[in-house]
């Protein structure tokens, strides 16, 4: 039996200070617990995908969350290799780049649990929007979802410029972070009914039986698996040329 590694994705919008010092502490913890992956930190919070042996990862997450002063929800999956070649901590202006001023405390979208998601997106008149990029959409998406055909998240606000703000919008992304930032922006712009999939696609796949799933294809992920299937195992629908392209885009 091959050795198993646990991959964890987590984020939270929470004020952070002394980012350079925080980066040093995070790198030390990653080395100590043999955890690889990428952690992005900014004044507005953190966004991470990391991997390690389960016991090591549990200890690492406990210490990291104390360091952040936060207790985010974590999506877990397993793989027979670490998923990352290195351990990196990046300091950025935003943990997910929208390039728009967003008051995260002013307004929020309506979080929809995976168990209620099918009902929402099948509602007549609701526009279902894939908040990810075009190359992610092409690997897999929800039945009936619209593709804004963007190359980067910062292009997505333009897609909503001429939309009727009274039209219900149901949007989703990989782990939820993009929707978490876009939803308040849309509400501030006057959109009355903004729904977002709680925990993102990964939580939906974890919680939903394949017989009831409205997901079609695989889901792009930010590690060496490239994509995962309905059971969160390494996907098989990505051919070599696409895998090479996606690996380049992740860098």
Beta bridge partners of 74: 10
Residues 179, 56 share a domain: no
Position 3 scores a pLDDT of: 80
> How far is 235 from 55, CA to CA, in rounded Å?
26
In eight-state DSSP terms, residue 37 is E
Task: Tell me the residue range of the domain where 42 lies.
Answer: 5-91
Asked if 246 contacts 226 with a C-beta cutoff of 8 angstroms, the reply is: yes
Look up residue 234 and give its DSSP letter.
B
pLDDT, residue 242, reads: 53
51 assigned to some structural domain: yes
Q: What is the reported pLDDT for 250?
A: 44
Q: What is the pLDDT of residue 118?
A: 98
Query: Integer distance in angstroms from the first to the last C-alpha of the chain?
Result: 31
Does one domain contain both 28 and 124? Answer: no
Q: 173 an active-site residue?
A: yes
Out of 57, 173, 197, 202, pick the active-site residue.
Answer: 173
Picking from 151, 118, 120, 124, the residue whose alpha carbon sits closest to that of residue 137 is 151
- Look at residue 251 and tell me if it is in a domain: no
**pLDDT of res. 221:** 94
Please report whether residue 99 resides in a domain. no
Regarding whether 220 and 165 lie in a shared domain, the answer is yes
The total number of structural domains that make up the chain:
2
What gap in Å lies between CA 23 and CA 20, rounded to an integer?
5
CA-to-CA distance for 137 and 152, rounded, in angstroms?
Answer: 12
pLDDT less than 50: residues of the chain: 240-241, 244, 247-251
State whether 29 and 128 are in the same domain: no
State residue 251's pLDDT score.
Answer: 38
pLDDT given at position 237: 63
User: Within this chain, do residues 81 and 116 fall inside the same structural domain, yes or no?
Assistant: no
CB neighbour burial string for 179-195, b if at least 16 within 10 angstroms, e if fewer: bbbbbbbbbeeebebbb
pTM of the model as a whole: 0.89
Domain end, chosen from 37, 70, 91, is at: 91
Q: What is the CATH number of the domain that holds 29?
A: 3.30.70.100
């Amino acid at each position: 039996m091959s050795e198993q590694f646990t991959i964890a994705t987590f984020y939270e919008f929470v004020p952070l200070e002394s980012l350079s010092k925080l980066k040093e502490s995070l790198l030390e913890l990653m080395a100590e617990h043999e955890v690889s992956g990428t952690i992005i930190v900014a004044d507005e919070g953190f966004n991470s995908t990391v991997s390690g042996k389960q016991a090591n990862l549990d200890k690492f997450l406990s210490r990291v969350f104390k360091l952040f002063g936060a207790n985010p929800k974590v999506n877990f999956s397993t793989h027979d290799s670490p998923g990352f070649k290195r351990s990196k901590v990046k300091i950025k202006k935003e943990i997910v780049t929208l390039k728009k001023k967003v008051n995260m405390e002013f307004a929020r979208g309506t979080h929809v649990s995976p168990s209620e998601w099918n009902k929402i997106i099948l509602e007549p008149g609701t526009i279902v929007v894939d908040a990810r990029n075009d190359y992610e959409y092409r690997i897999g998406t929800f039945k009936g979802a619209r593709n804004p055909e963007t190359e980067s998240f910062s292009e997505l606000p333009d897609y909503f410029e001429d939309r009727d703000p009274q039209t219900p919008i149901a949007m989703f992304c990989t782990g939820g972070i993009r929707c978490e930032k876009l939803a308040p922006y849309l509400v501030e712009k006057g959109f009355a009914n903004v729904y977002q999939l709680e925990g993102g696609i990964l939580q939906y796949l974890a919680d939903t039986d394949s017989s009831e799933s409205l997901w079609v294809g695989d889901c792009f992920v930010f590690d060496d698996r490239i994509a995962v299937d309905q059971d969160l195992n390494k996907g098989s629908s990505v051919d070599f040329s696409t895998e090479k392209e996606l690996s380049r885009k992740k860098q």
